[in-house]
C-alpha cells in the first residue's frame, strides 16, 4: 500500500498546477491521496520572521490534527509532496513522528532545510522572492538532495511567459513522475 500526503503552501492550495498534477501522477501509480489543508493564515507574512514562524507553528499543529488517525505503519511507501511552507511542515512532521518518507519539495523556504531529513528531490525557481537563489544553492550544498531549477521561475515556478510555463510544467511533471515510480 502506498500513500501520498499533500502539504500545500499558504496561498498555493492543493488544486494549483504543481500539486494537482503531482497528485494525478501519484494516483496513476496506485497511491492513496490525503490532502493536508490549513486555514486561518495571514497571507502577507513574507519577510516577517515572527509571523512566518507563527504560520509554520499553526500549520504544524493543524497537520498533526489532520493526520492523527493515519496509521503510517500500514503503508509500504509514504510520499510527501509539499510546496513552500508545506515543505517545512512535511519535514517537521516526518521528523517528529519518525516516519521514513520519499519527498517532492516544491519551492522550499529557507527554514525548510533545517527539518528536511528524508530522501527527496527539490524544485526551485531562480527568481523565487521567498528564497534567494544563492541562498538556495548554499543550503543545497549542505545536502545530497538532487534539485531542479526553473530559470526565471518565481515561487510558483512560473516565468510570466504562459507557453514557457506550460513547457516547464511538463518537464517538472516528467521529473516528478520519474521520482514517484522509481523503485
Q: What is the mean pLDDT of the chain?
A: 94
Q: What is the tens place of the pLDDT at every residue in 93-120?
A: 999 999 999 999 999 999 999 999 999 9
Task: Give the angle 6-9-13 at the CA atoms, nearest 5°.
Answer: 70
Residue 48 has a pLDDT of 76
Whole-model pTM: value is 0.95
Could you give the CA distance from residue 40 to residue 132 in angstroms, rounded to a whole number? 27
- The neighbour count for residue 162, using CB atoms within 10 Å, is 9
Q: Is 131 left (phi over 0), alpha (psi -120 to 50) or beta?
A: beta
Residue 42 has a pLDDT of 72
Task: Give the angle 158-5-134 at the CA atoms, nearest 5°.
Answer: 40
**Chain center to CA of 63:** 14
Could you give the CA distance from residue 36 to residue 71 in angstroms, rounded to a whole number? 15
**Chain center to CA of 101:** 13
Residues of the chain by 3-state class (helix, strand, coil), percent to 5: 45, 20, 40
Asked whether residue 139 carries a pLDDT value surpassing 90, the answer given is yes
Could you give the CA distance from residue 45 to residue 52 in angstroms, rounded to a whole number? 6
Q: Is 44 left (phi over 0), alpha (psi -120 to 50) or beta?
A: beta
Q: Which residues contact 120 (CB under 8 A, 6 or more apart)?
A: 80, 101, 102, 103, 104, 105, 145
Asked whether residue 178 carries a pLDDT value surpassing 70, the answer given is yes
Name the percent of the chain lying above pLDDT 90: 86
Residue 46 has a pLDDT of 75
Asked whether residue 37 carries a pLDDT value surpassing 80, the answer given is yes
Model confidence at 183, pLDDT cuts 50, 70, 90, reads: low
Q: What is the tens place of the pLDDT at every residue in 47-99?
A: 777 888 888 899 999 999 999 999 999 999 999 999 999 999 999 999 999 99
Helix (H, G, I), strand (E, B) or coil at 183: coil
Amino acid at each position: 500500500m502506498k500513500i501520498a500526503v499533500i502539504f500545500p503552501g499558504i496561498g498555493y492550495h492543493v488544486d494549483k498546477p504543481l500539486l494537482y498534477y503531482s497528485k494525478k501522477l501519484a494516483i496513476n501509480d496506485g497511491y492513496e491521496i490525503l490532502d493536508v489543508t490549513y486555514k486561518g493564515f495571514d497571507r502577507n507574512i513574507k519577510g516577517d520572521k515572527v509571523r512566518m514562524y507563527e504560520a509554520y507553528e499553526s500549520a504544524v499543529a493543524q497537520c498533526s490534527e489532520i493526520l492523527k488517525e493515519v496509521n503510517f505503519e500500514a503503508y509500504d511507501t509514504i510520499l510527501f509532496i509539499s510546496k513552500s511552507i508545506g515543505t517545512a511542515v512535511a519535514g517537521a512532521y516526518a521528523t517528529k513522528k519518525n516516519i521514513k518518507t520519499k519527498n517532492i519539495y516544491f519551492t522550499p523556504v529557507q527554514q525548510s532545510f533545517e527539518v528536511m531529513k528524508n530522501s527527496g528531490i527539490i524544485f526551485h525557481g531562480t527568481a523565487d522572492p521567498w528564497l534567494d537563489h544563492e541562498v538556495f544553492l548554499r543550503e543545497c550544498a549542505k545536502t545530497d538532495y538532487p534539485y531542479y531549477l526553473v530559470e526565471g521561475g518565481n515561487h510558483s515556478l512560473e516565468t510570466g511567459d504562459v507557453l514557457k510555463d506550460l513547457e516547464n510544467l511538463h518537464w517538472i511533471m516528467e521529473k516528478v513522475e520519474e521520482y514517484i515510480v522509481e523503485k
